[in-house]
Structure 1
């Protein structure tokens, strides 16, 4: 108990230091615990979005769970009857509840074999028509159909006749008439059953998920009452039951991450049960493929979060170490005294362990809630330091968050104990000597930690560049190589190593500066240079801390800006413009064949062959209305022929032929500056000189030895060859991907990279860009795309509405703006933006707290020195100048080192993020981006930080009383 009281008194005595340490612990726990919270929340949002997208693409409800059995003669009728009854109970009582989700529909469908039906009154209906139909029943059908004609079937036979309905297609196919009766005439039927067609039905609404199959699938079926079917066919087996299915619609909008495993397990249970009781089964769930991929997505997202947070975690660890070191520095005398009075090292360490556990318990209590708040910040990020009113993430604390928080506490407490272990070696005499001589090497420099960290980071950089070269040489994508997560640790190690190395050199620069002007320096600067030059270890902690935090913030900013900009430029370049669309063109092509089966025995008519060879004539739709659409700034015609043939001398090849109107194309297309040797417009101006002029790609020029002025001939199937003349060579062009194409992808899935390279065939894409009018006049008029550039304030929905109002027929439309929005909602890009933004903010906050804490404590420890200087006649103004000089030589130098290290780290290591992107589709090339706004923000923050620090220090200096300082020195 006495030890606890002593610890509490010691903590109260150093309350501000302990509070700073607690702040670092809480932020560390919050940051670490936010990872599982964010992973769960973002995957939860992604899960529903992916299922919605699956439904849009497949035009089928994503929550479908359909299972069926096909009964054959392998099991007896009695056994099949009992198996069906048991399966009904199993589906409704075991499978449906197993999802633990709302089940809007649970439909049981039964059907028999197809039977030969003949009309009872042959005088009224043609008896020569063959009518074969199965008898089908669906549970709950009456509530989901609308009556087109007649009425719904009754549950019991009327005058011995079973009532049935058909779909509209069935009425035509079976040549039936509503109100007529039919009887089964089949030798295999036990009992002839009479049926009366009492109505025609269709689905009530076309968005009703009750229907698994389209209504056309029942065109050869008589739909009867489900109750009658169960009593007569399933139970009494008057007709052979051939097929039974159970169809459930699971409300996927209510799915959580824990629903994934239950869904997969339920699917497996259903397959096992039906497989054990029936010979022929089928189980289908469209969402299954999407759901099974979520474990890999979760692992990848979790790894990315850890990787992105590594620099911030190292910074927080160093902050904890620095604050703990400050605490221990103030208590080294106490530790030395306790050691001299017989206290063991274990007892002293245990005392600090108890202190760390107490602070850690508080951090573990509040940290996960801080993590919850940080997760909301991550979800609201729309870019680096950009926040939008997006739908909030469904965040909640879970057991894993507290588990991660516990790990963070243990690691943080261990980090705070390191200075204690170092302080154990010092005696009272040694401690006093160390205080008097602060010019020795620090631990980091004494053991060459900076050299080791730089060596590791350089090896990591070498590994990254080697992998990138392998990917380019062997034609591999990022999915072909395993991404090493340690590569994301490398930038943080480089920042630390570079900061320590520069601080190893910095004291020599200060001493050189001192010696160069020691005859001319004023007393204030002379004292400052001596203080900084002789007390190198005293300032290294805060200098390393400031440089590391600022470099980390700058690296985070550059990485986020780079990834966002490259992702956006990739979309804009691949699309070519804001909007690309294809209009409907009228033509005289014959209608497509309905596909008769000739079996190869009958010759095709000569007229058909002539029609096939006939050149299709197209009618160009009006282009002017597209230029007058609301919100359209510019429009351009762009003709593209993918597999156009060309001839250079005696050599032949294929290339993409693009026809453009140079003026409209230049005003509409998007192109990043710097991709070409000259400006994009210069090439268009060059092209405009001659109607036959073309631009060719570098790949084509290199492979066929083309140079400016050479003629080439181009054509495509059914079009005569036309001569063009090369006027320029380009490396990139809007919407054209110059990266090599690799075929035989199926063979590329082998285990090794070398075998991948052998199995792939390289094909260099080639491009020819010419005048659209020249191509149309000399070759053919064929459909082209229309590229639109929108006004900055125009929204996509306005354009869509205008197209609909003017009834412009559009067969294809790609909206780059919508693609950009979708990319920003991608969970991995959200994670990058959120984590980088969070890392930047935490870096600034921790840097500010550490700066103020260090200098306030430093000043309070030098009260005697300032008091003596004041007693010697140094004015208050000179003291302030000394502090300003000291700040510039320490904090200012640390800021400069941080900015330099951050810039260098970004240029070297930000390209590593290419490993998380598809390299073959990353066009334009990956480019590191620096936004001046980020540096301006850093400069403003640093200026405010230094100004506030000087203000606080100046205020503390003004309150120093000379007689108290001197008396303190005497004591």
Structure 2
């Protein structure tokens, strides 16, 4: 108890340091515990979105769970009856309960064999019609149908006849009449069953989840009351029960991540149960494939979150180490005295362990709730440092969050104990000697940790560059490549190593500056240069901390901006403009299979027909003017593209993509990033505008076929005569055209990316270099053919997609295809991995700035309070208050200012070296335009603003503290 009281008193004595340490612990625990919360929340959102998309694509509800059995003659009737009853109970009481989700529909369906039916009234003229139908029943059908004619069937026979209804098409197919009676004409039937057709039905609602099968599947069925079927067929076996199916639709909008495992287990258990009981069975769950892929997505997202948070964690770990080191520095005399008086190392360490446990316990309780708040902030991120009012993430604390929080507490406490372990090595004499000599090397410099970190990071950079070079040279597509954690760890190591390396050199630069002007420096600057030059280890902690945090923040900003910008540019480039749409063109092409085997006629006559040349299809161009008048449209352009056109130029031949444009409209509408072409985009359009036969060709085409400006070439396609063109320019990129090489032989692509694998792949020709010819659309239409073209559209800045869609609908324009780049951008920003990048990078940047400010302020306040005697003596010697302030300003510029400058330089250098490596996580062949590192001036401005506020606040606080120093108290303190 006495030890605990002593520890509490010591903590109260150093309350500001302890609170700073607690702040770092809480942020660390909150950051780490936010990972499982965010992973669960983002996967939860992705799960529902994917199931909704699956439903849209398949036109089938994604929450369906359906299974069916077919009873064969191998199973005895009594056994079959019992197994069906047991299966009913299993599905109703076991399967439906295991989902733990609301049921939107639950249907049991039964059917018999198909029988031949004849009218009971033999005098009817349709008695010889061959009609075959089964008897079927669906539980709860009455509530989900509407009557077209007649009424619904009774659950009991009427006048000895069973009542049934049919679907509308079944009435026609079976040639039945409502109100007439029919009987089974088959000697195998145990009971001569008579059925009265009492009505015709249709679905009550076509979006009703009750119906698993389309009504057309009941075209050969007589639908009877389910209660009668269960009693007469299932129980009494008046006719042989042939099949039974169970269908349920669970509310997938209520699915949580733990529902995935239950759903999959339910499917597997149900399949096993029915496989052991029935010979022929079928089980379907449309959403199963989507759900089974979530384990891989979860693992990939979790790995990515860890990767993204590596730099911030390193920065937080260093912050904890720095604050703990400041605490221990103030207590080194106490530790040395305890050691000299017989206290063991274990006893001293245990005291700090108890202190760490107290702080860690508070962080463990508060941290996960901080993590919950951080996750909500992550969900609102729409880009780096951009937030929108999107639907809130379904965030909730879970057991895993507290588990991660506990791990973070343990690791953080270990970091705070390291300075204690280092401090116990010194005796009281050694400690006094160390205080007098602060010019020695730090631990990092003494053992060359900075050089080691730089060597590791540069080797990682070399490895990444070699891998990326191999993929780009061979046109490899890395669609499924997971985010490599080293993409974030290696830059963090580079930042740390570079900061320590610069600070190894920095004291020598300060000393050189001192010697160069020591005859002319004023007293304040003279004293500052001496102080900083002779005590490098005193300032090293804060300088490394500031440079690392600012470099990390700048790298995070550049990485996020780059990934977002390149993802957006990739969408815009591939689409070519804001909107790309295709109109419906009328043509005179014959219907499919016309004159073929399915077209009727005598096969012998068909064989005798002499094959004729394919008829050239004539197209009718739809009106173009209404498109230019659509709401929100600023400009429009016609763009004709022929993928498989043939060209020849002298002896050179090949296949090329031909694009026809109107230069003026195209230049106003199309999108192309500046700097991709040797000259401005519009210069090329102006160049070819004067000659109708002028074309631009791709660089790949010019190199492979030795073409140059001024050459003539001929282009054609199937059914179209060759037309002459003249080369007016050579381009390397063009809107919507991908110039990257593509593999034509997938087998040539090995699983590794080593240089030997690359050489082997290169030997087997697998890479195709795409080629492009761009010419005038009007020239092609007049001299070659009029064929369907796309219409590209540039939207007004304030226009919305909804306005455009509504305008298209109002004008009844027949659109067969529409790609909206704005909607594609929105979808890309909702991608969980891009959300993770934006959210975590934003969070990392903010944490870096907050921690940097706290660390800066804490260090200088404590530093100043520890130098009260020095400043008091300087004031007693005649140094004015203004000169003292100048000394502080000089010291700040030489330490904090220099550290900030170092951090900005290292951050820029790290971004330029390592951000391009993020291409490894994207599709190499489809990343057009080329990957470009982005530095947003807004991020630099925010950094400068934060730095200015930080330095200004620090100087204000330090100046205030200086003004309160009383000379007689400082001198008295020195005497004591």
- SS of 1:111's partner is strand
The answer to whether 1:896 aligns with 2:897 is no
Distance 2:749 2:265 in 1: 32
Equivalent residue for 2:945, pick from 936, 940, 944: 940
Aligned equivalent of 2:742 = 741
Aligned equivalent of 1:250 = 250
Aligned equivalent of 2:936 = 931
Superposition CA RMSD, Å: 2.0
Shifted more, 107-116 versus 745-754: the winner is 745-754
1:200–1:611 CA distance, 2 compared to 1 (3 A) = farther
Distance 1:52 1:127 in 2: 50
Unaligned runs of 5+ in 2: none
Relative to the length of structure 2, the TM-score reads 0.97
Aligned equivalent of 1:879 = 884
Distance 1:265 1:509 in 2: 67
Could you tell me how far 1:605 is from its partner in structure 2? 4.2
The answer to whether 1:61 aligns with 2:61 is yes
State how many pairs are aligned.
971
Q: Does the CA contact (< 8 Å) of 1:745 and 1:760 recur in 2?
A: no
Distance 1:599 1:531 in 2: 103
The answer to whether 1:952 aligns with 2:957 is yes
Distance 1:862 1:218 in 2: 93
Could you tell me how far 1:43 is from its partner in structure 2? 0.6
Aligned equivalent of 1:802 = 807
Aligned equivalent of 1:419 = 419
Aligned equivalent of 1:868 = 873
- SS of 2:65's partner is strand
Aligned equivalent of 1:163 = 163
Could you tell me how far 1:221 is from its partner in structure 2? 1.8
Deviation by residue 1:695-735 (Cα, 9 ceiling, x = unmatched):
22222222222222222222222222222222222221111
Q: Does the CA contact (< 8 Å) of 1:74 and 1:279 recur in 2?
A: no
1:151–1:608 CA distance, 2 compared to 1 (3 A) = farther
Distance 1:593 1:629 in 2: 38
The answer to whether 1:641 aligns with 2:646 is no
Aligned equivalent of 1:831 = 836
Deviation by residue 1:283-323 (Cα, 9 ceiling, x = unmatched):
11010000000001101100000000000000000000110
Aligned equivalent of 1:275 = 275
Aligned equivalent of 2:710 = 709
The answer to whether 1:694 aligns with 2:706 is no
Q: Does the CA contact (< 8 Å) of 1:748 and 1:760 recur in 2?
A: no
Distance 2:149 2:103 in 1: 31
Distance 1:203 1:920 in 2: 49
Q: Does the CA contact (< 8 Å) of 1:105 and 1:249 recur in 2?
A: yes
Aligned equivalent of 2:913 = 908
Shifted more, 747-756 versus 812-821: the winner is 747-756
Distance 2:612 2:199 in 1: 45
Distance 1:655 1:174 in 2: 57
Could you tell me how far 1:223 is from its partner in structure 2? 1.7
Aligned equivalent of 2:183 = 183
Deviation by residue 1:627-652 (Cα, 9 ceiling, x = unmatched):
11111100111111222222233443
Distance 1:448 1:214 in 2: 74
Could you tell me how far 1:241 is from its partner in structure 2? 2.1
1:316–1:607 CA distance, 2 compared to 1 (3 A) = farther
Equivalent residue for 1:855, pick from 856, 860, 864: 860
Aligned equivalent of 1:731 = 732
Could you tell me how far 1:793 is from its partner in structure 2? 0.6
Within-5 A mapping of 1:93-242:
93-121=93-121, 124-242=124-242
Distance 1:567 1:185 in 2: 69
Could you tell me how far 1:138 is from its partner in structure 2? 1.1
Deviation by residue 1:103-134 (Cα, 9 ceiling, x = unmatched):
12111111222222223345544344422222
1:752–1:845 CA distance, 2 compared to 1 (3 A) = closer
Q: Does the CA contact (< 8 Å) of 2:487 and 2:918 recur in 1?
A: no
- SS of 1:718's partner is coil
Aligned equivalent of 1:664 = 665
Within-5 A mapping of 1:520-669:
520-593=520-593, 597=598, 602-603=603-604, 605=606, 613-669=614-670
1:306–1:883 CA distance, 2 compared to 1 (3 A) = same
Q: Does the CA contact (< 8 Å) of 1:632 and 1:791 recur in 2?
A: yes
Aligned equivalent of 1:768 = 773
1:379–1:962 CA distance, 2 compared to 1 (3 A) = same
1:651–1:471 CA distance, 2 compared to 1 (3 A) = same
1:353–1:604 CA distance, 2 compared to 1 (3 A) = farther
Q: Does the CA contact (< 8 Å) of 1:117 and 1:182 recur in 2?
A: yes
Distance 1:609 1:22 in 2: 91
Deviation by residue 1:38-73 (Cα, 9 ceiling, x = unmatched):
001111111111101111111100000010111222
Q: Does the CA contact (< 8 Å) of 2:300 and 2:483 recur in 1?
A: no
- SS of 2:103's partner is coil
Distance 2:331 2:393 in 1: 46
1:746–1:86 CA distance, 2 compared to 1 (3 A) = farther
Q: Does the CA contact (< 8 Å) of 1:119 and 1:125 recur in 2?
A: no
The answer to whether 1:18 aligns with 2:27 is no
Distance 1:391 1:921 in 2: 31
Aligned equivalent of 1:88 = 88
The answer to whether 1:322 aligns with 2:345 is no
1:255–1:129 CA distance, 2 compared to 1 (3 A) = same
1:689–1:606 CA distance, 2 compared to 1 (3 A) = farther
Could you tell me how far 1:220 is from its partner in structure 2? 2.0
Distance 2:439 2:560 in 1: 40
Aligned equivalent of 1:819 = 824
Distance 2:697 2:515 in 1: 64
Deviation by residue 1:461-499 (Cα, 9 ceiling, x = unmatched):
111112212323444332565654233200110000000
Could you tell me how far 1:903 is from its partner in structure 2? 0.3
Shifted more, 587-596 versus 273-282: the winner is 587-596
Equivalent residue for 1:780, pick from 771, 785, 806: 785
Q: Does the CA contact (< 8 Å) of 1:145 and 1:201 recur in 2?
A: yes
- SS of 2:66's partner is strand
Q: Does the CA contact (< 8 Å) of 1:70 and 1:281 recur in 2?
A: yes
Deviation by residue 1:537-587 (Cα, 9 ceiling, x = unmatched):
000100000000000100110011001101111111111111111111112
Deviation by residue 1:503-544 (Cα, 9 ceiling, x = unmatched):
111111111111111111111111111111111100010000
Aligned equivalent of 2:467 = 467
Distance 2:599 2:671 in 1: 51
Q: Does the CA contact (< 8 Å) of 1:590 and 1:611 recur in 2?
A: no
1:751–1:524 CA distance, 2 compared to 1 (3 A) = closer
Within-5 A mapping of 1:332-343:
332-343=332-343
Aligned equivalent of 2:721 = 720
Distance 1:800 1:578 in 2: 13
Shifted more, 682-691 versus 475-484: the winner is 475-484
